Chains A and B, each alone.
Chain A
């Protein structure tokens, strides 16, 4: 997936929402900026399949050697699939955060909150600000 086509939460998660209507399945992950800031990830805890989440709920946890960060769901819905190979191959997060580094697929239940997400340009501006 191209970063330009994704939408972003303030807490540095990305989400891809397919254009077709109907039963919409969003793919979520952590942005390249966040992966870099977290440095040398050693552990990732995936959400359980079947979990119902609201936007902003904790989805899982990533750990570096000396820090732990929660990551949050950028959308509301039900977790229907997780990238179960990811915890054993964390390099994917750094190498391909928007592709093979995806974390979970969430069936959207409420799309009203999607408007609060940023586009690529706005997210880029946020990152630039945080870097200072």
Chain B
């Protein structure tokens, strides 16, 4: 039974005089407010926050939560997002006293355990990437991209070179060109071949001494390994440019191949994808970056270093790095996410990480082998950790769009894949099962998809049918935006 309370807003549940938290009495001599703060600084009214009791807060959010699909409750093959199982032990360990309640400006001396953890994490990420220098500071993948491009810009400035372009493939995540722009670069798009790889001729035609960085996602967003990557790197390096690896798809290659070994100079990790950090309804992530030794001096400050003393090793934050680009965020980094990543990495060890990649790729190929018989996968005889099917034929023949399939899948109790990305595939359906799903789940998903394709067109156009709401009017939402609660706006 759906609780109707769930869809009322907190501010609609509000009743004057109700409250959740009660604070302690003031235990210091209380002074008149005006004696402490002149009137002109004080609010004349309290903010209109909801007045609700603690049980109401709990019931409200508990009910709201049931309106979400999540990894804990549903198969969630959202391509490019690596929605793998989020281990519960990591949640518990990251909440330990001594980890969750330490202040960012405590002395290094008072934080030797935590700094050791981050130091070891830096080393582990260096080993996985094959790139010697690591910064844990960036707050998310896109933030890592930006930080790394700033590193590249600083490097070229030091070399006395003025390179103003960043190349990105047309299949790249939108964050790539957006990050390039934020760093003052002009973003230039490189075409893909019909097979889904970087078009070498187009790359060569755009590659010159003004190109600072070529950003490549490998495996790419079609789930294919850019087999030319070494040649690409060689050509870019020959013109003095750098290779950036968008690490969104690292799950496919952990322990199999390393970005540093296939020519990347810089990369970011997405610990909330690859290393099982929960996605939190939108975040947080973290975006540690790894770069070659020659670029290491330019990384954001601080980084954790280990000093050996007669009393044993001492871990400390190092700020004195004259070539550093500076800070890209406040404090050390998204530590809570990094601690979870560390726990995940220690749980697996080297051999275990390789098995993660193997099973992610096995699961994706198995699902591909079932799906491709009834839904075209334009670039896919085989794949890495994900593949991109296309509903273009379905749309042309029967008017069934990728979005219709996505919406109908919800009725069958699975989250939809990513649709309409990458932009290079018409009616794209990007499916990433991850390694933490069973063969039965994959079989079940393939069977549902197979069944849906034969369902009546009208049924699909109006799907989903079983959810509380169906096909919200996005046009109305964008034309006349209502972005906050206003009074007298009751639920219908």
Q: Which residue of B lies closest to A43 (CB)?
A: B478
Is the CB–CB distance between B479 and A90 below 8 Å? yes
Label chain B's interface by main secondary structure: helix
Task: Determine if A128 is an interface residue (Cβ-Cβ < 8 Å).
Answer: no
Q: 1/0 contact trace for A88-115 toward B, CB 8 Å? A: 0010000000000000000000000000
Please name all residues of chain A whose beta carbon is closer than 8 Å to the beta carbon of B475 when the two chains form the complex. Answer: 40, 42, 64-65
| A66 at interface, CB cutoff 8 A | yes
Can you list 13 A-B pairs with a CB-CB distance of less than 8 A? Answer: A40-B475, A42-B475, A42-B478, A42-B479, A43-B478, A43-B479, A63-B478, A64-B475, A65-B474, A65-B475, A65-B478, A66-B420, A90-B479
Complex Cα distance A89/B478, Å? 13
Q: Mark A62-81, 1 if CB is under 8 A from B, else 0.
A: 01111000000000000000
Please report B residues at the A interface, Cβ cutoff 8 Å.
420, 474-475, 478-479
Taking CB atoms, residues of chain B closer than 8 Å to A40 are 475
Q: Give chain A nearest CB distance to B424 CB in angstroms.
A: 15
A42-B479, A66-B420 given; name 11 further pairs at CB < 8 Å.
Answer: A40-B475, A42-B475, A42-B478, A43-B478, A43-B479, A63-B478, A64-B475, A65-B474, A65-B475, A65-B478, A90-B479
Residues of A that sit less than 8 Å from B by CB: 40, 42-43, 63-66, 90
Measured between alpha carbons, how far is A64 from B475 in the docked complex, in Å? 8
**Closest chain B residue, CB of each to CB of A39:** B475
Chain B residues within an 8 Å CB radius of A64: 475
Closest to B478 in A: A42
A97 to chain B: closest CB distance in Å?
18
CA of A124 to CA of B100 in the docked complex: distance in angstroms? 66
Query: Complex Cα distance A40/B478, Å?
Result: 10
**Residues in A neighbouring B478, C-beta threshold 8 A:** 42-43, 63, 65
Q: Chain B residues near A90 (CB, 8 Å)?
A: 479
List the 5 closest pairs (A to B, CB-CB), nearest first: A42-B478, A40-B475, A65-B474, A42-B479, A65-B478
Of listed A40, A43, A63, A66, residue having the most chain B CB within 10 A: A40
Q: How far is the CA of A42 from the CA of B474 in the complex (A)?
A: 9
B248 CB, min distance to chain A CBs, angstroms: 21
The docked-state distance in angstroms from the alpha carbon of A2 to that of B398 is 35
Q: Which residues of B contact A43 (CB under 8 A)?
A: 478-479
A61 to chain B, nearest CB (A): 14
| Chain A residues closer than 8 Å to B474, beta-carbon distance | 65
Shortest Cβ distance from B318 into chain A, in angstroms? 43
Residues in chain B near residue A66, CB distance under 8 A: 420
In the assembled complex, the Cα of A90 lies from the Cα of B420 at a distance in Å of: 25
Nearest-neighbour CB distance to chain A for B315, whole angstroms, equals: 47
How many Å lie between the Cα of A51 and that of B478 in the bound state?
A: 28
| Complex-state Cα separation, A43 to B477, whole angstroms | 11
Residues of A within 8 A of B420 (CB): 66
In the assembled complex, the CB of B360 is this many whole angstroms from the nearest CB of chain A, namely 29
Looking at the assembled complex, report how far the CB atom of B126 sits from the nearest CB atom of chain A, in whole angstroms: 39
* Min CB–CB distance B466 → chain A (angstroms): 24
- Chain B minimum-CB-distance residue to A66: B420
CB of B99, distance to nearest CB on chain A (Å): 41
Once the chains are docked, how many angstroms separate the CA of A65 from the CA of B420? 13
A63–B479 Cα distance when bound, in Å, is: 10
Instruction: Name the residue in A42, A63, A90 with the highest tally of chain B Cβ atoms < 10 Å from its Cβ.
Output: A42
| B479 contacts across to A, CB distance below 8 A | 42-43, 90
Chain B residues, CB < 8 A from A65: 474-475, 478
Question: Complex Cα distance A66/B475, Å?
Answer: 10
A63, closest chain B residue (CB): B478
Name the distance in Å between B419's Cβ and chain A's nearest Cβ: 11
Inter-chain CA distance A129–B478, complex, in Å, is: 32
Query: How far is B474's CA from A64's CA once the two chains are assembled, in angstroms?
Result: 10
A40 to B475, CA, bound (A): 7
- A90 to B480, alpha carbons, bound, how many Å? 11
CA distance A90 to B478 in the complex (A): 12
* Distance of A66 Cα from B174 Cα, bound (Å): 13
In this complex, which of B420, B474, B479 has the most chain A Cβ atoms within 10 angstroms of its Cβ?
B479
Docked CA distance A61–B420 (Å): 22
Minimum Cβ distance to chain A for residue B448 (Å): 26
Q: How far is the CA of A37 from the CA of B36 in the complex (A)?
A: 63
Instruction: For the complex, give the distance between the alpha carbons of A90 and B474 in Å.
Output: 15
Q: Write the nearest CB–CB distance from A65 to chain B, whole angstroms.
A: 5
Complex CA gap A65/B471 in Å reads 14
Measured between alpha carbons, how far is A42 from B478 in the docked complex, in Å?
A: 6
A37 to chain B, nearest CB (A): 15
